[in-house]
Structure formats: C-alpha cells, structure tokens
Chain A
C-alpha cells in the first residue's frame, strides 16, 4: 500500500518550559520532533505517554512551526497529570484538526474579541495571527473577563496589546481583590465602553459555555447579525477526525466541522451552550 500518514499516530514533542499562568492554569512550551504548523483556532490532541490525550487549541502564534505553546487548565484526569510534568518530558501531538478562525474574512473589518477564563488561550493565538496582518484590519479590540485578578492568564499580554497600533485590550473581573482598580462585572459590560462600527465588524467569542451564551446574546442585542459572530465550541473531541462520535453536536462533528462556527451555522442545534 502507498505510504500515507497514520492519522492516529502522535508526533513526539519535548516539553521545554512550564509557565504558571494562574493557580489552575499552566502553559506548556513544546518543541516537536518535526516542524508542526497549524491554523489559528485549530486544535490538537495533546497526550501524556500511556495515560491519555485531550484537545487543546494552541495559544502560540500560527506563524511559528518549530515551537508550540499550549495552555492547560487543571480540570480532569489527564490535565492533572499534565500539570505534574517537568521540562524534559516528552508529550504527544496529533493534529492540527478542524476549522480555525477564517482570518482572511476579517480583512478590512473591526474585530471584536470577547474572551473569558481559559478561553484566552485560543484568542492569544488569534491575536498573534491578527497582529501579523494588522495592515489589512481596521481595528482589533479584546474584551476579557476572569473571575478574579489572579485567574487572569497572560497578564503582560494586555500591556503589550495596548502598545500595538490598531489594538485595544480591556479587562474586567467578577470579584476584585484589594489591588484591583480596573473594571468589575461580567465581560459583556466591557462592550459598553468600546466604540464599534457595527456594520463593518465581526465578533469572536471564546470562553466557558455560560459566558459564550450571554456574550452571544449581548452581541445580538447590539445588532450583530448571526453570521458576524464566530464561536469556538468545546465538546469531548477525541479522535479529531470526525469518526469517533464523541463530539457530535447535532449533525456536526465539532472536531471536523468546527471548532470555530458562526452562530448562524449552529443556532438551530440544540444544547450548544452546555
């Protein structure tokens, strides 16, 4: 038979650095044994040898293929073990899978990004991608909310973004601490503070399901059309290939047809916010 890539076989990658982002979140810096390219918003299956694998969207720039950063929240069996890994360990990568952000459709537009919690991981990759093409964009505005100031990931990112021409970044927290002097409230409150040319804008929403739901509702109230809203969906993606069935969301396989959908594509699918 002809030599065809085995879709199930992981590519080994060396863990070179582990960055503590928040009490529950770490970023793993990986150097794959071969160059590894992905489109922003696509996801990978990251495995711990002999233990298991889980889906993550890389948080690094899609323009770098010799190094990959993956931000992982400790939330289950596999991620618990990942959080105990030390630099020097080898992990497995399969992918990239699915449809990422169609950045070419954002040309000439204002891009409003609504992020919550660990949802900033895919968004960071998107921001790198948008920075790369900023000459072709009108404006990029990031509105990000976390539960507490300590839960905010990539803290230096906000200062850096605000120094880039055409970029604006805003943060809010649900529960402030003593040192916090920024906005307080859910992430949608930040939308009241920004100026948008709605007609010439697209919105990207990524975060926990409850935040995605109310973020989308608010954007629709503001006048966004269904096809202007891009959602990054999360289900139990396992094979990544549209075959194993675990991430079926109505007629869609989130792993293959998504994970990025326009709201227009999935608005009639039941249980999208669960």
Chain B
C-alpha cells in the first residue's frame, strides 16, 4: 500500500486554504461525541481522525432529511467530506445504485456525488456496536472513497484510492511519500488490532451471506418478541446509512419536497382505500429486516447493511438487532 504524509500543522493550514474554494464537512469531536459539521477556521483543530464514528451516517450529506427537489440542484461550491468510516463509504454504494440508476437518475443526488471529494478515515478501535467485519467490510477503505486519512504521531498519512484523490492531493505542495517503516508498521498493527477487536466482539454473528436465509425462515414469534418494545419512531431507518425511503410532499406552485420517510412509521404502505400491508407492528418490524437482508440483496449488488451498529445505538426501545441475529442463528 502506498502512503503519503504531511505534518498535521501543514495539513490544517492546507485545509483552511481549501475553505476558499470548497464547502468542507468533517467528523468533529464535540461535547456530545463525534458528528459531521461544516468546517470553518475555528474548528479545523477539532476534526476527529480514526475514532469511529460520526453519530449521523454519511448518507445525510447526500440525501438531506428535507430537500426541495423542484429547485435548482446545482451546488454553490464543490464539497469535501473528511472522516467517513468504511461502513458509511460502503453504504454509499447501494445509494449509488438507487439514485444514479440509468433510467431515473436523481439530479440532486448526482450533483452532490459528482462534486464531493470523499476522504475516509481508517478506524483504529471500535464502538460498542460496530460489526462491519461480520459483513466482510474492513474497518478501512481501499475503494469507494477518494482518499483515506490516518493521524499518527502528529503526521497526517494519506492513502490515495482514486484518480480524483490523486488530483486533489496535487494541491498540497508539502505532501511527501511516506517511507518511514516504523509508521507504516504502526498503521498495519492498528489495522490488525482493530480487526481482531471486531472479530472478537462479534463472534456469534452470522455472516452476511447467511442473513437472508435466516430472516426469510424466521418464525413469526421472533418478530413479535423483538418488536414488543418498538415504538415505530423510525430512528433505526433514519440513522441507517443505507435506508433511503422518502415521501414527496406537495407545495404550492407544483413544488415537491422530498422528505426522508421510514417503513417503520404506521401508514407507510397504506393505500387510498385504507388497505395497509404493514399495519401490524411485528409485520412492519419484520419488513425492515426483509428489505435489508432478503429483497435488497436480490435486487442490488451492494450491501443493504454495513454493520455500523447505529440502529442499535439509536433505538429507544433498546432493540438490538445483533441479539436478534444471534438468537436466529442458534
């Protein structure tokens, strides 16, 4: 693997310079934890490197909760996003399949996708519910992002992934090839240690390939059991990096506002006559699992769950999908 490096102070100065021509979002360490924020000269020093993970998924920067989709999709400035873990980077793939569909491409999504430099970070360490490795995703990106970044010993180390990443980094005059074997070795050890942590804490989880069969064959009692504390708040779908369902809301002047929706909300599939296939809570609850592990894999090539664990963290009913899968797998 080829690495480049630049001293952290120089990197921060370069990022500040980039603010003149780009809108920059980055994972920021704030009093509530880590989340994406717009970068200004004041918070460049608070950018979080290599600690999983931003509270909101990367999708929120491509599919806002609300967006007027009859307006002009053009962005005022190109964008840079710094600090997306690989679970989120992999989550973008199914969004690309859905929103860049050759028959119906979404100009709003495409405009953001084409005008964004995506800088991932390698995860060193894990959060309690991280389980990307169960779905064959490594905690660092080797594709999907333009670059990946690592902060080590006051040095920013960059791994270029795409030609777009190469072009981008050519703006940094102080970037050099990294030849320090000790640092490279420390990065490798960090990768290995993180993977070991993930494997160790997710030993009982079924492999992604098996999840479709497990969900399809699950007895209805399991859906009743795990949905018992579900309050249909939709937090799991809203926070999911791959859930993209939305509602079109009409505004005067034949304008349309696209608003994030959730199959967990009552009435999601209700038709005008009143029929509602997802009326009962256990059926509605099961729908999300069927969508992610059975139907989406039949329809798309990309993963519909990337093991980020946010749905577990966000659930106010304390529903843990990993516990559900471990129960189903035994």
Contacts and interface: CB of A to CB of B under 8 A. Distances in A.
A209 B275 CA distance: 10
A243 B106 contact: yes
Interface stretch (B46-54, B157-165, B265-273, B322-330): B265-273
Interface in A154-180: none
Contact of A8 (B111, B245, B256, B275): B256
Interface string A60-75: 0000000000000001
B11 to A, nearest CB: 30
B248 A239 contact: yes
Interface of A: 1, 4, 6-10, 12, 47-54, 75-79, 92, 209, 234-236, 238-239, 241-248, 250-251, 256, 271, 274
The 5 closest A-B pairs by CB, nearest first: A76-B272, A245-B245, A50-B252, A8-B69, A241-B104
Contacts of A247: 269
A4 B100 CA distance: 12
Interface string B97-133: 0110101111100110010000000000000000000
Interface stretch (B145-153, B199-207, B291-299): B291-299
A10 B254 contact: yes
Given A76-B272, A209-B275, A251-B295, A7 B250 contact: no
- Give the size range of B's interface with the partner: 35 or more
A245 B98 CA distance: 11
B79 interface: no
A28 B253 CA distance: 20
B186 to A, nearest CB: 42
A6 B70 contact: yes
B269 A235 contact: yes
Contact of B250 (A50, A241, A256): A50
Contacts of B70: 6, 8-9
B261 interface: yes
Given A1-B74, A75-B273, A248-B291, A242 B250 contact: no
Contacts of A271: 277
Contact of A243 (B74, B98, B254, B277): B98
Contact of B253 (A50, A241, A251): A50
A6 B299 CA distance: 24
Nearest to B258: A8
A53 B248 contact: yes
Given A4-B107, A236-B271, A49 B248 contact: no
B107 A234 contact: no
Nearest to B246: A244
Nearest to B267: A236
A33 to B, nearest CB: 11
A236 B272 CA distance: 8
A167 B107 CA distance: 46
